[in-house]
Amino acid sequence: MYVVTFQPRNTVVRAGAGMTILQAARKAGITLEAPCNGAGTCGKCAVRVELDDPADLFIHEGHRLSPAQEARGLVLSCQAEIRGDVSVHLEQREENGLQVLTGGIGHGAELSAFIRKRFDPALFETKVFAGDDLLCAERGDTAGEVYGVVADIGTTTLVVSLVDLTTGKELVSLSALNPQSLHAQDVLSRIRFAGEEDGIGVMHLVLTSELNRLITRAAAKTGVDPGNVYEVVYSGNTCMLHLATATDPAPLGKYPFTPVITGGNHLPASGIGLAVAKRGLLYLPPVISAYVGADITAGIIAAGLHRLPGTTLFIDIGTNGEMVLSRDGSLTATSTAAGPAFEGMNISCGMRASVGAIEYFHAADTGVIELKTIGDAEPVGICGSGLLDIVAELVGYGVIDKRGRLAPPGSGGTPGFMDERLTREHGKVIFRISDNVYLSQKDVRQVQLAKGAIRAGISILLQEKGIEADMVDRVLIAGSFGCHLRERSLLALGLLPGEFAGKVEFVGNTARSGGEALLLNTGLRLELEGLVPDIEVVELTARKDFDRVFMDAMGF
């Protein structure tokens, strides 16, 4: 056994021969961000090491760090096999000021909450009802203290809103990183992680602990007793609902992709470990399929999609690309695996939307390059909206060709102010955005894969219903990430068809706003539960033409 010391915590753990630094960190209870779960593809788990003998560490050939990182003694913890005593310095960047959109288009639901109270002066007690059923009785008059919570459980981020059920008013909304993403970034990798020993337990525990922290903090900020929170609504994709309730998600990862959880029901909140009223309830909205979940059904309610005349395309752009086509209220849904690129993951200098992330990029013909970072700080990385802006601008100036290839430095095919930013690292072309931030050829490929998947989903969904792109009346872009995008970039990249120009509306975090509508109005739950079984689902994996459409959609 070898001794591994993690600094600056001075945490010591013993590791057997062949164990990686990442595995040793997890054994020590230290969470290193490793969204690819140790596959060596994301490059995010870098640590600095000190060795008495270089032979004490064996580095597998996988993801390459930059020369500057290697010169500082950084290695990827998932690729560093321990063969002697080693001192590890944790240097992962703190992503401060995480920017998460909490607002979204609202339904304007009439207040008719599932939870209500009635004070009985004769008994000097307050009865708490869940629908028509008596939930519990409390001593004294507590009729004015009835609260609920909506938890938008995104693959990358969490949003928790505390709502007064007597007035329908949102008291506070808080956001945070979904801690599951530190172990595995996308849905498929979390399904695989859950299949490991105690994987489900880890995923459920870290998520519930963070939700409880947000609920407790929200209650403290508003002077609310968490014991007076009687109902929680979970809005999230189908996999997130499984992990949030400690339900095995394995069936979602294999044909015929049948979810264990279908939603439209309540569970005891105490059984999930939520820090709310002892007799509190958790409501799970209905899901459409294994990959179109409660975040989308909540979005349908928020946008009133089933009531809109004409043809509307609703798209939630994120780690997963879920979309619903409404044709005079008749709904058809599908989902495509966009991957984590739009969340800044699997990108060389990618990061989440936090302080220092480039969120806007524009190159003018005069040679002036304008970029904006979150918090107006020095650029330290690129978040999703900035990534799409950058790639769109480089495509427009010919720095990236139609097949997605970066122009070689000095090729003469690009303007001088662009060409001077093209250089090579590890023998491969990169485009330098600032002193420490760049775009690589691999990054461009990741954008191509993500945008190709979403564009292919749009094309097949329209084709399935016999609709041409110019027949679409409106396009609603939902999600925390979607609200920071620009229509211009989406069209320039070909993520959206050119026929959608002028028809795009960014509707915000409808998973949260729709979840809040379901919390406040029991009738909307019944309406949604009746609507979902009639929604047609198009399974892209069953389409023989998907690969062809996908490959065509990857071009710029």
**CB–CB of 522/114 below 8 Å?**
yes
CA atoms within 13 A on the CB side of 498: 2
Q: What is the pLDDT of residues 114-142, one digit of tens each?
A: 999 999 999 999 999 999 999 999 999 99
The domain ranges of the chain are 2-89, 115-296
Work out the angle at residue 412's Cα, subtended by the Cα atoms of residues 410 and 416, and round it to the nearest 5 degrees: 80
E strands of 21-131, at which residues?
46-50, 57-59, 74-76, 80-82, 86-89, 115-120, 125-130
**CB–CB of 540/550 below 8 Å?**
no
HEC profile of 271-333: HHCCCCCCCCEEEECCCCECCECHHHHHHHHHHCHHHCCCEEEEEECCCCEEEEEEECCEEEE
Q: How far apart are CA 322 and CA 281, in angstroms?
A: 28
Taking only the tens of pLDDT, the chain with its 556 residues reads 889 998 887 888 898 888 899 888 878 877 777 766 667 767 778 888 888 888 888 888 766 676 767 777 888 888 889 998 999 988 655 554 444 444 556 666 789 999 999 999 999 999 999 999 999 999 999 999 999 999 999 988 899 999 999 999 999 999 988 999 888 878 888 999 999 989 999 999 999 999 999 999 999 999 999 999 999 999 999 999 999 999 999 999 998 999 999 999 999 999 999 999 999 999 999 999 999 999 999 999 999 999 999 999 999 987 788 999 999 999 999 999 887 778 777 888 988 778 899 999 999 998 999 999 999 999 999 988 899 999 999 999 999 999 999 999 988 889 999 999 999 987 899 999 998 899 999 999 999 999 999 999 999 999 999 999 999 999 999 986 655 678 999 999 999 999 999 999 999 889 999 999 999 999 999 999 999 999 999 999 888 899 999 999 999 8
* Per-residue model confidence (pLDDT) at position 520: 96
- How does 428-437 read in b/e, with b if 16+ C-beta sit within 10 Å? ebbbebbeeb
Can you read off the two tokens belonging to residue 242?
């499984």
Q: Which residues contact 386 (CB under 8 A, 6 or more apart)?
A: 357, 358, 359, 360, 361, 371
Q: How far apart are CA 413 and CA 407, in angstroms?
A: 8
**CB–CB of 39/78 below 8 Å?**
yes
**CB–CB of 90/77 below 8 Å?**
no
* Second CATH level (architecture) for the domain 115-296: 2-Layer Sandwich (3.30)
Q: How far apart are CA 300 and CA 293, in angstroms?
A: 11
What does the DSSP assignment read for 232-260? EEEEE-HHHHHHHTT---GGGGSTT---S
The DSSP code for 365 is T
User: Where does residue 273 rank: exposed (0-12), middle (13-18), buried (19+ CB within 10 A)?
Assistant: middle
The DSSP code for 210 is H
Work out the angle at residue 525's Cα, subtended by the Cα atoms of residues 523 and 527, and round it to the nearest 5 degrees: 70
Neighbours of 398 (CB within 10 A): 14
Question: Percent of the chain scored above 70 by pLDDT?
Answer: 94
What is the longest distance spanned by two Cα atoms in the chain? 89
Reduced to 3 states (helix: H, G, I; strand: E, B; else coil), residue 335 is strand
Characterise 385 by phi-psi region: left (phi > 0), alpha (psi -120 to 50), beta (else). Answer: alpha
Can you read off the two tokens belonging to residue 259?
């979810």
Closest CA to 450 of 338, 323, 347: 338
**CB–CB of 28/82 below 8 Å?**
no
Q: What is the pLDDT of residues 325-383, one digit of tens each?
A: 999 999 999 999 887 778 777 888 988 778 899 999 999 998 999 999 999 999 999 98
- What is the rounded radius of gyration, in angstroms, for the C-alpha atoms of the chain? 25
CATH 3.10.20.30 applies to domain 2-89: yes
* Per-residue model confidence (pLDDT) at position 64: 63
pTM: 0.83
Residue 554 — φ and ψ, nearest 5°? -75, -20
Reduced to 3 states (helix: H, G, I; strand: E, B; else coil), residue 171 is strand
Q: How far apart are CA 445 and CA 403, in angstroms?
A: 10
